[in-house]
C-alpha cells in the first residue's frame, strides 16, 4: 500500500477493480519519469547519442517483457493495447478467407476478442462459434465437436474477466494447431496472476496489456510466433517500418518492428518493464489466493448473494449477484462507503447472455489489498442488507 501514492493519500479507500486496471507503484512512475527526464528521443531513427539511448531503453524494455513470458524479444511487438493488437491480428492474419470458414472463440471472451472477429465474419461471410462455459462449474465446456476442418482461427481468453476462472485451454490450442488453425491467446487477465511460459502454450499469438500488470496504459505485450509474423503484413503502415517506398509501392523491414509503424510509446514500454519487474519482486500470488478464498468464503455464507462459479483454478477476481438488489445498487452502496467495485456486464455480454444474468458485481483484487479490506467490504455489504434487505 505504501508504494502507491493514490492509496497512501486515501488510506480509507478500498480499490477492488484491479482486473480493469491496476494502481501504479512508485517504482513504475519513477522509471517512466526517469526515461523522459534522461533518455527521451525518438527511437530507431536518430543517430545522435540521445536517440541511441532511447532506442536502448525501448529494446531493453522489450527484452524484459519478452523474458516475462519466456519469449525472445524478436517475437514480441509492443502494441497500444490488447484491443489494438486483437484488431490488428483480425485484420492482417495471412488467411485466404472463404465463405463458411470458422473462427472459434469461447463464450467468456471480452468484447475486445469478439468484435474484431464479428467484423471480419461480416466481411467474409464467416461463422463464429462459441465454446460454452459450464454454468455449474465455470470451466471451459466441451470444444472437440466445435473444432473442425473449417476452423481457421481459435482465439480464446486464458482467464475470465468476470468470474476469474482460469481455463484449461492448452489441449484446445494444441488440437487446433495440429489441424492447421492459427491460435491466439488473450492473456489480459492471467498475466498478473500466473507465470506464462510461451513454449508450453501452443499459441501463435499471445497478448496482455501492461496496465493490468502494474504498468501504464499505452503498451500491450504481443507475442507473435515467427511463422506468423514473418508472413503477416503490418497492422498499420507509416514511418519506421519500410525498406523502400516508391510512389506506388512499399516493402517492409524483416523484423517484428514492422508492426510498430510511427513513433512508439517508449515511456509506456519502459513503465511496462518496470511493472513486471515490480510484480516479480513482490510475488503476491500466494497472498492473493488466500485473500480470494477469504472473500469467497464470506460471500458464500450470505444466502442473499450468489457467487458465479470459477472452476478449479482462478485469478483473484470474483463475481456475484443478488436476487434482492440490482448489481448497480450494490456497487453504488459500496462506492458511498469508499469501496470501488464494478457492476455490469464487464464487456462480456455473451457470457452473461449464456448464463441469463443481467448484471453482476465484480470484486478484483490486486497486490495492495488486505484481509482487513475484505472484512470491511463484507461488513459494508451486511450493513446494506440490514438496512434495505431484511424487511
Ligand atoms: C480478457 C480481456 N481482454 C481484453 C481486454 C482489453 O484490454 P485493453 O482495454 O487494455 O485493450 C480486457 C480488459 O479488461 C480483458 O479483461
In DSSP notation, 260-287 reads --SS--HHHHHHHHHHHHHHHHH--HHH
82 lines ligand 1 (CB under 6 A): yes
Give strand pairing partners of 364: 17, 317
CA distances from 244 to 2, 137, 181, 240, 250 (A): 51, 55, 32, 11, 6
Nearest to 208 by CA among 192, 230, 232, 227: 192
pLDDT value of residue 298: 98
Atom of ligand 1 nearest to the CA of 109: 1
SS3 212: helix
Do 160 and 189 form a contact (C-beta atoms < 8 A)? Answer: yes
Please give the share of the chain, as a percent, with pLDDT higher than 70. 99
Per-residue pLDDT at 390: 67
Average of per-residue pLDDT across 78-89: 98
The residue whose CB lies within 8 Å of the most ligand 1 atoms, and thus the one to mutate among 84, 112, 169, is 112
Q: What value does the mean pLDDT take over residues 248-255?
A: 96
Q: For residue 316, give the DSSP letter.
A: S
Ligand 1 centre to CA of 298 (Å) is 28
Q: Which whole-number Å values give the CA distances from 37 to 32, 34, 48, in the listed order?
A: 9, 5, 17
Separation of 82 CA from ligand 1 center, angstroms? 6
- Average pLDDT value over all residues in the chain: 97
**Structural domains of the chain ordered from first start:** 5-24+284-389 (3.90.1150.10), 27-280 (3.40.640.10)
Grid cell in block for residue 157 = 481468453
- Determine the atom of ligand 1 nearest the C-alpha atom of 220: 10
Catalytic residue at 219? no
Q: How far is the CA of 4 from the centre of ligand 1 (A)?
A: 23
pLDDT bracket for residue 46 (50, 70, 90): confident
Q: Which grid cell is 171?
A: 489441449
Q: Above pLDDT 90, what percent of the chain?
A: 98
Phi, psi of 366 (to 5 degrees): -130, 175
pLDDT score of 280: 97
| Probe target for ligand 1 pocket from 207, 268, 347, with the most ligand atoms within 8 Å of CB | 347
pLDDT (mean) for 185-197: 97
The reported pLDDT for the residue numbered 47 is: 82
- Confidence class for position 391, pLDDT limits 50, 70, 90: low
| 36, pLDDT greater than 90 | yes
User: Does the beta carbon of 106 sit less than 6 angstroms from any atom of ligand 1?
Assistant: no
For residue range 283-329, list pLDDT tens digits in order: 999 999 999 999 999 999 999 999 999 999 999 999 999 999 999 99
Q: What is the mean pLDDT of residues 241-248?
A: 96
Segment 133-187, tens digit of pLDDT: 999 999 999 999 999 999 999 999 999 999 999 999 999 999 999 999 999 999 9
Query: How far does residue 211's CA lie from ligand 1's centre (Å)?
Result: 10
Question: 341-378 pLDDT, tens per residue?
Answer: 999 999 999 999 999 998 999 999 999 999 999 999 99
pLDDT for the residue numbered 261: 96
Least confident of 13-22, 43-52, 80-89, 202-211: 43-52
Q: Average pLDDT of 201-229? A: 97
The number of the ligand 1 atom at minimal distance from the alpha carbon of 212 is: 10
Q: How confident is the model over 51-63, as a mean pLDDT?
A: 96
Amino acid at each position: 500500500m505504501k508504494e502507491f501514492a493514490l492509496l497512501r493519500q486515501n488510506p480509507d479507500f478500498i480499490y477492488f477493480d484491479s482486473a480493469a486496471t491496476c494502481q501504479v507503484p512508485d517504482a513504475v512512475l519513477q522509471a517512466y519519469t526517469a526515461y523522459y527526464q534522461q533518455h527521451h528521443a525518438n527511437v530507431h531513427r536518430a543517430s545522435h547519442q540521445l536517440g541511441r539511448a532511447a532506442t536502448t531503453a525501448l529494446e531493453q524494455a522489450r527484452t524484459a517483457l519478452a523474458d516475462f513470458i519466456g519469449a525472445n524479444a524478436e517475437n514480441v511487438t509492443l502494441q497500444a493495447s490488447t484491443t489494438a493488437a486483437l484488431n490488428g491480428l483480425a485484420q492482417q492474419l495471412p488467411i485466404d478467407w472463404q465463405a463458411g470458414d470458422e473462427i472459434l472463440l469461447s463464450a467468456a471472451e471480452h468484447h475486445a476478442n469478439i468484435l474484431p472477429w464479428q467484423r471480419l465474419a461480416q466481411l467474409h461471410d464467416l461463422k463464429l462459434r462459441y465454446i460454452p462455459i459450464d454454468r455449474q462449474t465455470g470451466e471451459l465446456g466441451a470444444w472437440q465437436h466445435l473444432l473442425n476442418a473449417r476452423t481457421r482461427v481459435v482465439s480464446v481468453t486464458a482467464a475470465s474477466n468476470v468470474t476469474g476462472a482460469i481455463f484449461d485451454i492448452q489441449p484446445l490450442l494444441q488440437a487446433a494447431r495440429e489441424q492447421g488453425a492459427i491460435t491466439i491467446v488473450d492473456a489480459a487477465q492471467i498475466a498478473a496472476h500466473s507465470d506464462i511460459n510461451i513454449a508450453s502454450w501452443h499459441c501463435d499469438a499471445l497478448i496482455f496489456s501492461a496496465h493490468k500488470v502494474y504498468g501504464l496504459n499505452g503498451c500491450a505485450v504481443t507475442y507473435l510466433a515467427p511463422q506468423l509474423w514473418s508472413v503477416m503484413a503490418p497492422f498499420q503502415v507509416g514511418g519506421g517500418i519500410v525498406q523502400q517506398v516508391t510512389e506506388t509501392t512499399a516493402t517492409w523491414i524483416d523484423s517484428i518492428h514492422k508492426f510498430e509503424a510511427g513513433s512508439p510509446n517508449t515511456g509506456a514500454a519502459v513503465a511496462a518493464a518496470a511493472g513486471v519487474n515490480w510484480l516479480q519482486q513482490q510475488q503476491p500470488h500466494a497472498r492473493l489466493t488466500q485473500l480470494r478464498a477469504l472473500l469467497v468464503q464470506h460471500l458464500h455464507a450470505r444466502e442473499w448473494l450468489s457467487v458465479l462459479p470459477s472452476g478449479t483454478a482462478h485469478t483473484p477476481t470474483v463475481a456475484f449477484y443478488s436476487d434482492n438488489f440490482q448489481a448497480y445498487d450494490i456497487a453504488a452502496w459500496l462506492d458511498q462507503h469508499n469501496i470501488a467495485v464494478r457492476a455490469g456486464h464487464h464487456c462480456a455480454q455473451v457470457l452473461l447472455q449464456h448464463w441469463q444474468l443481467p448484471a453482476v458485481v465484480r470484486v478484483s483484487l490486486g497486490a495492495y489489498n488486505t484481509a482487513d479490506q475484505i472484512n470491511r467490504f463484507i461488513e459494508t455489504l451486511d450493513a446494506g442488507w440490514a438496512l434495505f434487505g431484511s424487511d
